[in-house]
Amino acid sequence: MDFPYARLRRRPDVEAENLQAYDATDVLLVERGLSLGVDGHEIAVIGDEYGAITLALTAAGIDGIRVHQDLATGRRALALNAADLGLAGFEPHDLGAALLRGVRLVLLQLPKSLAELEEIADAVARWAAPDVVLVAGGRVKHMTLAQNEVLARRFGRVRAERAERKSRLVVAAEPLPVPAAPPFPVTQRHGDLVLAAHGGAFAGAKLDIGTRVLLEVLGLADPQLRRSAPEPGETGPQPPSGDGISGVLNEEPTEPAPVVVDLGCGTGALAASYALAHPAARVIATDRSAAAVASARATVAANGVADRVDVMHDDAASELPDASADLVLLNPPFHLGTSVHTGAATRLFEAAARILRPGGELLTVFNSSLGYRAELTRLVGPTEQLHRTPKFTVMRSVRR
């Protein structure tokens, strides 16, 4: 089969010369899937970043494939690529029983985290057909023996194949009995805050350092987590000042209720903490990762603020109206998949600028080495440093 992989695009995700919409692992998974002759209604594809696996199979005449993609950008890219190529014959699903019930073949692009792989392996063993075969693939440089060990906890037979085109397939079969309850989400308490996390959520149920620094600046960190004095090279946390956010941070309720957006919310630590401290605010948490969104929903429920926090699965707040937010909180990523690339942060800065009302404020925490101040000033408005440690910097930008 001669599928036009080169025609696939990553949009609406970041596009650049060093970023492409498929790799050799996709091709190997497609070749294996076609060779097994399984009916399309008994095939599930998981982790297909931009649709290369799903669309190559449908182009070969396989219909009824179920597909799960964690990222909203991947789901939209699949739809756009399918439209460009005139292809159909697949159904999107979240990770769960509807995706896997009765499935006899799972094609998986191995995820970065072992926790995410554990959740996927458990789901396949829990809901797929008893004779299911899981074919997982990855780039050799990113694969570890620990991935085989995770699979072996849910499958009686796990076999790694020889590397080909710098990629490798691992085949798992004979699913083992699973515990009564799924292993995710996991929870962890951080002072008064409870974090919940599914396998694919960044940092799991831990409170990542950047988020903790931003919570300190906002005055929302639990006293047990605060340090008594700055470390060498730090400036002490400075609360935002000026006209823009002073009303939002004020304990007195305002009319109308201020709108606060946790952009790229992850497990929802910022959204839940802000909602707990500011009952009058309307808080929106949004992330492009389905695992993060499921985690954030579990987090706000665990903290009793589910009625005050709206959690959305969305790419760069695309579903929020222009000039609708008073405050945006942002701890942006600096990786795209396994590539170091600042394009993801730029897209979120642009999104914050779009959804902030004039005079609204963006509080951003990022690795101090990245130096985003000029870009924030250009895209959002006047930007000042509120806090700096050797590792992290917090900036305040006012929407011009």
pLDDT digits (tens, 9 = 90+) for 306-334: 999 999 999 999 999 999 999 999 999 86
- pLDDT tier, 229 (very low <50, low <70, confident <90, very high otherwise): very low
Mean pLDDT lowest for which of 41-55, 99-113, 218-232, 279-293? 218-232
Whether residues 203 and 128 share a domain: the answer is: no
Residue 181 lies in a domain: no
| pLDDT value at 188 more than 50 | yes
Residue 203 lies in a domain: yes
Pair 250, 198 in one domain:
yes
- The predicted pLDDT at position 267 comes to 98
Burial class (CB in 10 A: 0-12, 13-18, 19+), 307: exposed
For the chain, what is the domain count? 2
Distances (CA, A) of 315 to 18, 73, 307: 21, 6, 23
Answer yes or no: is 101 within a domain: yes
Task: Give the pTM.
Answer: 0.90
Residue where the block lists tokens 């919570």 = 215
Q: How far is the C-alpha of 90 from the C-alpha of 159, rounded, in Å?
A: 28
Rg of the Cα trace of the chain? 22
Report pLDDT digits (tens) over 20-79. 999 999 999 999 999 999 999 999 999 999 999 999 999 999 999 999 999 999 999 999
In the listed set 153, 175, 197, which residue is the last one of a domain according to the structure?
A: 175
For residues 141 and 206, membership in a common domain is answered with no
**Residue 230 pLDDT:** 45
Domain termination site, one of 119, 145, 175: 175
Of 175, 194, 229, the last residue of a domain is 175
| Same-domain check for residues 171 and 237 | no
- Which residue range(s) make up the domain with 157? 5-175
